[in-house]
Every structure is written in structure tokens, then in C-alpha cells.
Amino acid sequence: MTSNTKEEKSSVHYKFFVSGRWRNRDNVLDLTQKIREKDYKVYCFLETSNSVKGNNDDPEQDMQLFEKLDWRNDPYVKEVFQNDMNGEKSSDAFIMLLPAGKSCHIEAGVAYGLGKKCILIGEQKEAESLYLIFKESYNSVEEFLKTI
């Protein structure tokens, strides 16, 4: 797994910013690796040194610990935020892998506001008007990978 350090983020340009749900981390990491195998630079929030704390095999336990932090005042949470925003600003395109959590949806709005190309991967079963920010939509990772 490639780690994104602060130094890398300030000077590296990424083709894709991959976002998804922490609890879906295995699939997010798998997508990230498959994109890299096609020789693209990828920012993935799971690989930063300051991502969600925890080394549990169960992502649910890690997330429960993270969600208990004082998000307004905890310097660790602020560092996670800044790290991810820098990665997003340094990327050409934003990928949301479903299922996606609250943070991922906020990041999608940021990407859209920054004029980034927004890509949705996964089946969105019900109508959601704001998903029109996604200029490309794929039902599966495999379907997306065929296009890059």
C-alpha cells in the first residue's frame, strides 16, 4: 500500500481522488489498486498516515472510535480534514464508490464546486436529483476500469 505523506500531497498531482465509505474500505482499496495498475496516480483517504485511527480487523469498530472524537476541536480530525482537502484539490477527477457515507457525499459536493469531473461507481437504486453532479456513472468497478 502506498502512503500519502504531507510532502507528497503538496507537490503531487493526482488523476483520481477515490472516496467511499470507511466501512467499505476493502473495496475502496481494491479500486485504488486497480486504477494504479493502469499507471494513474490516485489519492485514497485510507492510505494517509492520519486516516481514521484504528487497526481493528473490523472497520465498524474503527469507525465507532473515530465518531466519538470531538470533531470541532480534535487536532487529529482537523489534520484528516486538511489532508483530504489537499488531496481533492490536487486531483483531476473525483470517484465516489457506493456505498458511500456522509463524508464522501460532502467530498462529492466539494469536488463539484471545484469543477472536478465527478464519477459514480455502484448502483444507485432510488432517484436522487443531486447525483446529477456525476457526469459518468458505472454499475461496477469493472465497467469503469474498461474506460480508462
Inter-residue contact 111 to 41 (CB < 8 Å)? no
Query: How large is the average pLDDT for residues 22-31?
Result: 92
- Given a cut of 60, is residue 33 above it in pLDDT? yes
Give domain status of residue 1, yes or no: no
Which range has the top average pLDDT, 5-19, 45-59, 62-76, 88-102? 88-102
- pLDDT tens digit string along 107-139? 999 999 999 999 999 998 888 899 999 999 999
**Which stretches does DSSP call E strand in the chain?**
14-19, 42-44, 91-97, 117-121, 136-138
| Residue 122 DSSP one-character state | S
Q: Is 49 exposed, middle or buried (0-12, 13-18, 19+ CB in 10 A)?
A: exposed
Query: How large is the average pLDDT for residues 94-109?
Result: 95
Give domain status of residue 96, yes or no: yes
Give domain status of residue 58, yes or no: yes
pLDDT confidence of residue 47: 87
The span from the CA of 14 to the CA of 143, in Å, is 21
Of 53-62, 68-77, 80-89, least confident by mean pLDDT is 53-62
Host domain of residue 125:
6-145
| CATH number of the domain encompassing residue 18 | 3.40.50.450
Written as nine digits, the cell of 67 is 465518531
Q: Which residue has the higher pLDDT, 142 or 66?
A: 142
Work out how many domains the chain is built from and give that number: 1
